[in-house]
Amino acid sequence: MSDAMPDQDYELFVRKVKAHTGIDLAQYKEAQMKRRLTTLRLKRGYSTFVSYFQALVQDRELMREFLDRMTINVSEFWRNPNRWEMLEQRFIPELVKERGRRLKCWSAACSTGEEPYTLAMILAEQNLLAHARIIASDIDEGALAKAKEGVYPDRSVKDVPPRYLKTYFVQDSAQQYRVVPELKQAVRWEKKNLLLDPFESDFDLIICRNVVIYFTEEAKHGLYRRFADALRPGGILFVGSTEQIFHPQQYGLQPVETFFYKKTAAPSSV
């Protein structure tokens, strides 16, 4: 088989996935995504992407596995703890000073829920949770179902400060930790495609970490502009440790700390 044939096979797969699910794989870095999905396809015994797509449409569990692999559901509570401490000690107090206790927050691409629950703990410790709105979204329904369940293995909670672990989890067994109802009730879960679906507005805080790295430069540019539009003036965008935004002023954002950006003004023409 020539090199062109596998390329055409993948391109047709991309088109079929977009038509069926609304997910545009063309906006993800092709080499990474194609390699990841080829491994999964071969593992399941499909010789072409087109035959794999036909199976995805007919098998809900296979589709769920595909979405899970596509969206890289790797998450932990307090991932990169010093960044969460910065949010806790500096930016949440600053936002409260500016806006009062009714903060509107969004965990975009929340995966299995560790990120929004970490935020909920921080807000609860500062007596803000009852007044705040936390929206958590992901494209993967399977990940959202796990998030709503709120049960995690011990490896997921390894970076949780001891007082938080004691207060906000119930240990079911030596390996399982269950999030307390106070946190579960504080989060509104939504299925959302960041590259397609509309965003709400007037957010005080948007957290989107370790997701944008998988998108093409064009998709990143559009997403950062939409995040900036969704923030209120003075709102904060918190990104991942590999996702520094170059020329943030083009989106009307200003770097205020490593991996934190504040919406300041209209975008520049850079």
Q: What are 157-196's pLDDT values in tens digits?
A: 999 999 999 999 999 876 799 999 999 999 999 999 999 9
Quickly state the pLDDT bin for 5 (edges 50, 70, 90).
low
The mean pLDDT of 92-99, rounded to a whole number, is 94
> What is the distance between the alpha carbons of residues 178 and 170, in angstroms, rounded to a whole number?
5
> What is the distance between the alpha carbons of residues 234 and 224, in angstroms, rounded to a whole number?
16
> What is the distance between the alpha carbons of residues 189 and 234, in angstroms, rounded to a whole number?
25
Q: Does residue 266 have a pLDDT over 70?
A: no
Buried b (16+ CB within 10 A) or exposed e, 224-252: beebbebbeeebbbbbbeebebeebbbbb
The dotted CATH code for 81-263 is 3.40.50.150
Q: Does residue 12 have a pLDDT over 80?
A: yes
Contact yes or no for 117/144 (Cβ under 8 A): no
The single-letter code of the amino acid at 146 is K
Q: Strand locations in the chain, DSSP E?
A: 104-107, 133-138, 151-153, 169-171, 176-179, 187-191, 203-208, 231-239, 253-257, 260-263
The mean pLDDT of 210-227, rounded to a whole number, is 90
pLDDT-above-90 percentage for the chain: 68
Write down the pLDDT at residue 240: 87
Write down the pLDDT at residue 4: 42
**Boundaries of every domain in the chain:** 4-71, 81-263
Write down the pLDDT at residue 20: 85
Write down the pLDDT at residue 73: 55
Contact yes or no for 103/205 (Cβ under 8 A): yes
Contact yes or no for 97/127 (Cβ under 8 A): no
Backbone Cα Rg of the chain = 20
Quickly state the pLDDT bin for 72 (edges 50, 70, 90).
low
The whole-model pTM stands at 0.81
Q: Does residue 131 have a pLDDT over 50?
A: yes
Q: What is the overall mean pLDDT for the chain?
A: 90
Quickly state the pLDDT bin for 49 (edges 50, 70, 90).
very high
